[in-house]
Amino acid sequence: MANIQPKKTRWGLWLTCLVLVGGGVWGWRQHAGAATKAALAGKTALPPVPVVAGHVAQKDVPIYLDGLGTVQAFNAVTVHVRVDGELKKVAFTEGQDVKAGDVLAQIDPDPFRAQLEQAEAKKAQDEAQLANARLDLQRDAEQIAAKIVSQQVYDTQKALVDQLAAQVKADQAAIDSAKVQLNYTTVVSPLDGRLGVRLVDQGNIVHATDANGLVVVTQLKPISVVFTLPEQSLPSIQKARAAGDIAVLAVDRDNRTILGTGQLAVIDNQIDVTTGTIRLKATFPNEDLRLWPGQFVNARLLLTTRKGGLVVPAAVVQRGPDGPYAFVIKADKDDKVVAIQPVKVAQIENGEALIDEGLHADDEVVVDGQYRLQPGSKVKTAQAGKPGAAK
């Protein structure tokens, strides 16, 4: 009987241990489940994402066509001499502004003055002979009435008078030609413009057939810009031109600085088949001389103005695999959530995107902070330009 009691005691201890261990495991599982549920609840209740918000605006938007252009002088003339002789005087300074008719150079006029005097003397001689022949013709006319001279003598004298009269006319033509040649010894500017580098020095013998002239005169006011656009733009340009003058902007290579505003002057009469482009020329007043011949500029042709266009800051438009889109902010009960809205962009100009499709006036959109967003995300908005926006 003494051995039975210790066995019962050992079984009771084992049973107590098992109960304690089982209770501990059950309690741990309950605690872990509660922690997991709390973590999941916290995950679904993420705080709103701070973003910068803006609204779709509505205003008139100019539509431009952009092309690469080259500035060309409105007129450029290489001044040549028109008679041969010694270049006695150069009357201009390189880089000088001149008016049409200003004297540029003087060729030795003495040989041409002598030719003029010879022609004038020859005319005086022939006029004297003509006057004498006319007196003889008058006497023959009186004598033929009295039948003192024959008709043949009268006709011969009349032919001589006509011959001398023609000679006097030829002499006058020679005088006019000599005067023209003499006038050519004074070289003048053919147009208003600016002179370039002198090509011939004073004292040289110059000829009318010389390949090089004296100087190049370039007209800078007004000035032209020749540029190209794709041939697909031609119908739109022709339609706009039929409605009135088309403005063209000349923009510096930084694509921001406007160098001048002009008008479309010429649409070329054929398309370049090798490049598929059409050449156009615009005329600029160029009063401040910011455009210079040979300069490369960006030409911006104002095709039309979109009335009441929808615009947003350019940062609103995001790029995705399916094309451009924007995050639109919508109300969801007491919260604000975002949704992805595909958009169609007409152009981006001066930090603003012109929207063709996808947005409406006064829609609230995300301007900054998109990198943390996904469809359905709750957001906390701040207006653009306010301190602390989308930190």
* pLDDT tens digits for range 111-157: 999 999 999 999 999 999 999 999 988 887 878 777 777 888 888 88
Tell me the β-bridge partners of 72: 224
Work out whether the CA dihedral 177, 181, 182, 183 comes out positive or negative: positive
Give the global pTM.
0.69
Which CA distances in Å does 201 have to 44, 94, 185? 90, 12, 16
Surface-to-core class of residue 189, CB atoms within 10 Å of its CB (0-12 exposed, 13-18 middle, 19+ buried): buried
Show the domain range for 358. Answer: 49-59+308-383
**What does the block give as tokens for 106?**
């003087």
Mean pLDDT of 96-121: 95
222: cis peptide before it, omega within 30°? yes
What's the confidence (pLDDT) of residue 48?
86
Cross-strand pairs, 219? 75
Position 6, amino acid:
P
Do residues 95 and 184 both lie within one domain?
A: yes
Q: Are residues 182 and 86 in the same domain?
A: yes
Q: To 5 degrees, how large is the angle CA 62–CA 323–CA 316?
A: 55
Q: From CA 228, how far away is CA 210, in angstroms rounded?
A: 36
CATH number at residue 300: 2.40.30.170
In the beta sheet, which residues pair with residue 148?
Answer: none
Confirm whether 89 is domain-assigned.
Answer: yes
Is the domain of 258 the same as that of 354? no
Both tokens of residue 272? Answer: 């370049």
Give the residue carrying structure tokens 């779709």.
56
Could you tell me if 135 and 242 lie in one domain? no
| Total residue length of the chain | 391
Instruction: Please check whether residues 178 and 251 belong to one and the same domain.
Output: no
Share of the chain above pLDDT 70, in %: 86
- Same domain? 82 vs 153: yes
In a domain, 42, yes or no: no
Same domain, 357 and 319: yes
| 193-242 residue pLDDT tens | 999 999 999 999 999 999 999 999 999 999 999 999 999 999 999 999 99
Tally Cβ neighbours within 10 Å of residue 336. 19
Among the candidates 172, 206, 240, a domain finishes at: 206
Residue 190 is assigned to a structural domain of this protein: yes
**Residue 347: in which H helix or E strand, if any?**
strand 344-349
* 179 and 145 belong to one structural domain: yes
Residue 31 lies in a domain: no
> What CATH number should be reported for the domain holding residue 127?
2.40.50.100
Judge whether residue 14 has pLDDT over 90. Answer: no
Q: What is the pLDDT of residue 332?
A: 78
Same domain, 109 and 185: yes
| Residue 10 placed within a domain | no
Neighbour tally for 32: CB within 10 Å: 10
Q: What is the CATH number of the domain that holds 347?
A: 2.40.420.20
Same domain, 138 and 249: no
- 218 strand-pairing partners: 76, 194
Query: Domain ends where: 307, 328, 348?
Result: 307
From the list 64, 62, 67, 63, the residue with the least C-alpha distance to 278 is 67
Spatial CA neighbour of 357 closest among 369, 343, 367, 371 = 343
> Which helix H or strand E contains 39, and what residues bound it?
helix 4-44
The answer to whether position 352 is within a domain reads yes
Total domains in the fold of the chain: 3
Asked if residue 388 is part of any domain, the answer here is: no
* Spatial separation of the C-alpha atoms in residues 365 and 134, rounded to whole Å: 105
Domain boundary pick from 240, 273, 307: 307
54-80 pLDDT, tens digit each? 999 999 999 999 999 999 999 999 999
372 and 347 inside one domain: yes
**Is 7 contained in some domain?**
no
Domain match, 313 and 300 both: no
Contact of 73 with 293, CB cutoff 8 Å? yes
